[in-house]
Amino acid sequence: MRLRHVENAHEIIKDNEKAIFRPERFKGKWDEIFGNKNPLHVEFGSGRGSFIMGMAEKYPNINYLAFERNSKVVIRALKKLPEECPENFYFAHSDIKLIDEIFNDNDLDRIYLNFSDPWPKKRHSKRRLTYRGFLKDYERILKSSGDLHFKTDNDGLFNFSIEELKEQGWNITLVTRDLHNSQYNEDNVMTEYEKKFSKQGKKINKLIAIPPVE
């Protein structure tokens, strides 16, 4: 199925029990959606959600949201979900630009950014998901004990992200430029892009950072 030929995309998402359409409706109600008060982890720019669903299977006592703005990508992902899908996992169809309308302060325990668009041209730097404007949003919605996990194959984006985080007062607690050959790979769950790039021989960068302390 070609993405451009998906019809009635919003209606399909709206009617799927594992998808949340217009998640801003549930601001302050995420405990009700999952039926518990377990930690909440979110991936922004999840694509087809293979990573976040893998995490949900591995850690059933954590709640997971896979945020993806492209409705057609979400539909393809929903069509490929297994019959026995983890109960602690949902797709959320939305744009990260609406983050203030979706989450209250201190809502999240962890944010994942995996293989985000590098936007390589300097004039597009504000679109990078590790740009300081986004970091301010993450700082607000993360708990003081929360953290940000970032993976990319793009060295330029990785270097940019490290500098942005430092300048904004984040504490970077882990950095590796070759994740799969490091001590940190043991519990790693790979994304679709990660599998693809690894087969091509590319090294995977990863960092973990915690928000600034007021």
pTM reported for the whole predicted model: 0.92
Angle at 38 between CA 37 and CA 40, to 5 degrees: 105
What domains appear along the chain, each with residue ranges and CATH number?
3-210 (3.40.50.150)
What one-letter code names the amino acid at 209?
A
Helix (H) or strand (E) holding 145: strand 142-152
Two tokens at 167? 């300048």
CA distance 69 to 61: 26
Residue 177 has pLDDT above 70, yes or no: yes
What was the pLDDT predicted at 4? Answer: 45
CB 64 within 8 A of CB 52: yes
Q: Residue 165 is inside which H or E element, if any?
A: helix 155-167
Digit-coded pLDDT (tens) for 16-35: 778 888 899 999 999 999 99
CA distance 139 to 168: 10
Nearest Cα to 141, choosing from 116, 106, 109?
106
pLDDT score of 6 more than 70: no
Active-site position among 117, 153, 178, 187: 117
Amino acid occupying residue 104: N
| Known active-site residue 137 | no
